[in-house]
C-alpha cells in the first residue's frame, strides 16, 4: 500500500505531524512518500494508492477559513484532472477553530473525481492525538494485506 503525504507548513506544526505520520506508518510497513505541496507533481499523486493532504488553518474574517495558499494552489494545479475515485484524507492543525478549511479540500477532490474519505483536525499542541486518530483510521480501512 503506497501512501503519499502532501503537506504545507509555515511554522512547522503540520510538517511535524506529517513526519510523525511517516514514522508510525512506516513502522506498520506502509510505503510512504512525503512531498511539500509546492513541489508535488501529478505523477506522485497518480502513483499513490491513498493520498493524505495536510494543511494549517488560515482564517480571514471576510472570507472564511482556508487551507494555506500552497495547498489551494496544489489542488488547483498539480492534481490530475481525473483522480479515478482515488481515496484522499485531509488533515489540519489549527490554533482555535478549523471551521471549513478541510471542506475546501474535499470539494476540490470531489470536483476531480476523487473519493474524499475522511477529515482530521486537531489543535497544534495535540499532534500525537491527531496522528493516532489518522493511523487508526488507515489501519482499519486500508490494512496491509
Ligand atoms: C495568517 C494565519 C492565520 C491563522 N488563522 C487561524 C484561524 O483562523 N483559526 C485557527 O484556529 N488557527 C489559525 N491560525 C493558526 C494556525 O492554523 C496554526 O498555528 C497551525 O498549526 C500552523 O501550522 P504550521 O505550523 O504548519 O504552519 C493562523 C495562523 C496564521 C499564521
Domains in the chain: boundaries? 2-141
pLDDT for residue 61: 59
pLDDT for residue 62: 54
134 has pLDDT over 90: yes
Q: Pairing state of beta strands 64-67 and 50-60?
A: antiparallel
**CA atoms 7, 13, 16, 18: torsion sign:** negative
Class of domain 2-141: alpha beta
What counts of helices (H) and strands (E) characterise the chain?
5, 6
Q: What is the chain's mean pLDDT, rounded?
A: 92
60 has pLDDT over 70: no
63 has pLDDT over 70: no
Determine the average pLDDT of the residues in 30-40: 95
> Is there an atom of ligand 1 within 6 Å of 14 CB?
yes
Residue having the nearest C-alpha atom to atom 16 of ligand 1: 94
Ligand 1 center from residue 78 Cα (angstroms):
23
> Is there an atom of ligand 1 within 6 Å of 56 CB?
yes
- DSSP structure class, residue 140: H
* Pocket test residue of 12, 71, 95 for ligand 1, highest count of atoms within 8 A of CB: 95
Q: Which residues contact 18 (CB under 8 A, 6 or more apart)?
A: 5, 7, 9, 34, 54
Amino acid at each position: 500500500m503506497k501512501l503519499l503525504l502532501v503537506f504545507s507548513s509555515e511554522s512547522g506544526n503540520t510538517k511535524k505531524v506529517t513526519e510523525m505520520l511517516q514514522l508510525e506508518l512506516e513502522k506498520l510497513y506502509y510505503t510512504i512518500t512525503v512531498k511539500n505541496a509546492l513541489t508535488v507533481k501529478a505523477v506522485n499523486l497518480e502513483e499513490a494508492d491513498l493520498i493524505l493532504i495536510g494543511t494549517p488553518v488560515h482564517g480571514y474574517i471576510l472570507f472564511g477559513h482556508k487551507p494555506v495558499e500552497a495547498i489551494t494552489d496544489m489542488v488547483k494545479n498539480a492534481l490530475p484532472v481525473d483522480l479515478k475515485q482515488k481515496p484522499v484524507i485531509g488533515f489540519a492543525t489549527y490554533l482555535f477553530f478549523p471551521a471549513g478549511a478541510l471542506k475546501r479540500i474535499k470539494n476540490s477532490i470531489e470536483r476531480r473525481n476523487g473519493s474524499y474519505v475522511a477529515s482530521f483536525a486537531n489543535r497544534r499542541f495535540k499532534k500525537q492525538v491527531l496522528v493516532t486518530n489518522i493511523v487508526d483510521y488507515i489501519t482499519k480501512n486500508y490494512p496491509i494485506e
